[in-house]
Amino acid sequence: MRASRVKYMVLVLIIILLHSSALFGQAVDPAVARNGMVVSTDRLASKAGLEILKKGGNAIDAAIATAFAMAVTYPSCGNIGGEGFLLYYGNDGVVSAIDFRTQAPAAATQKMFLNEKGTGYKKSHIKGLHITDSPVSVGIPGTVAGLALAHRKFGRLPWSDLIEPAVELAVKGFPVSERLHNEMKDSRKYFLKYTSSTKFFLKENKKVYEAGEIWRQPDLAETLKRIQEHGEGEFYTGQTAELIAASMKEHGGLITVEDLKNYRAIEREAEHSTYRGYDIYAMPLPSSGGITQTEILNILEGYNVEEKGHNSALYLHVLAEAMRRAYWDRALHLGDPDFNSDIPEERLKSKEYAGFLRTTIDLEHASKSKELENTLKSHGSRETTHFSVVDSGGNAVSITYTLNGDFGAYLVAEGTGIVLNN
């Protein structure tokens, strides 16, 4: 498959991201650019990435700048205290998948969230918080290590240049958006459980910042400056690591300095599939996205979707039914291969299996999820974000990163400005 066709497909996927709101009947006025583009949910973070492109940085550089900026401006899921996945496509045809998921601390156990009978969750030691939102739930953050690994392999500009926009935002502050104000208001009662979170997120009168008010983050600015000067090592072995470990010890969390020291981001082979002659690359396990996407596209490949008409009732019916089946399999089978060796990966990705699934789709009637024996009992959190970058050379980056739930564990590590994940 020619590299140009692969590049075209990557760009098409990013355009789909830009137009996704059209599926829900919203008017879209897409941005157009000749020399690159940064697409994220936060205007200030996108601007930080764009500044790096204008300075001669490549897509990796701009993605790193966007990610660090979003840790300042979109703290409900933008993070350096969380995790994520990075997918890179180079104009030379090189494809890389970087896994920077959180990892469990050494003291974690398989049943640590269960009550003595093993029949449900135990009570949290933090009153009013579920055990899976408490300090015990915090995993070893991977974002800084993942971004640093991407920079070592594919970056162009100096590391310090990429963090400077985030430092500036944290020092000078920025106007709180209506969205951020509402998110803080919804989570205020949880911030109040920790002195460090109250100090970080709320004003001196313990009220949330109003839309338009300037929010400055001096502790986070100092943390970013240390990472800017000393690199990822400072986060995992330096003062920041010590502050995180101290906060964990104070609040009953499990992460130690040794846990942080031992963390490593992992470069994996990207998930590869084909769709109507195009090569598709996506994140492999432990991300469920690649296999789920492959299954959906394999099912759709058996229909003439162009003939059905974009956003027509029949097109949306087929799309929904394909997604229903792929997410059913995701809930039943997918997990971390380091701890689950019984994942039928090849079957789920096969064209033959997709052919069988198509035989279960009725073009006249919707399926019932109960009939598919869907075991997924809850909805995923809204607070995971995705952003994409393309530079003038045709290099492309796609990042998904998160604190898991809204504001993760609601706990800010004292003296760092880092919101820890759950």
Active site residues: 384
**Which tokens hold the place of 396?**
């492309």
Candidates 284, 294, 379; CA nearest to 329 is: 294
Tell me the C-alpha to C-alpha distance, in Å, between residue 170 and each of 73, 301, 376.
8, 47, 39
Residue 357: Cβ within 10 Å count: 21
CA distance to 40, 91, 295, per residue, from 394 (Å): 18, 5, 27
Whose tokens are 């205020």? That residue is 188
Find out whether 184 and 201 touch, Cβ atoms under 8 Å.
Answer: yes
Q: Decide: residue 291, CB within 10 A, 0-12 exposed, 13-18 middle, 19+ buried.
A: buried
Q: 154: Cβ–Cβ under 8 A, 6 or more apart, which residues?
A: 58, 60, 88, 90, 96, 395
Residue matched to tokens 């920079």: 151
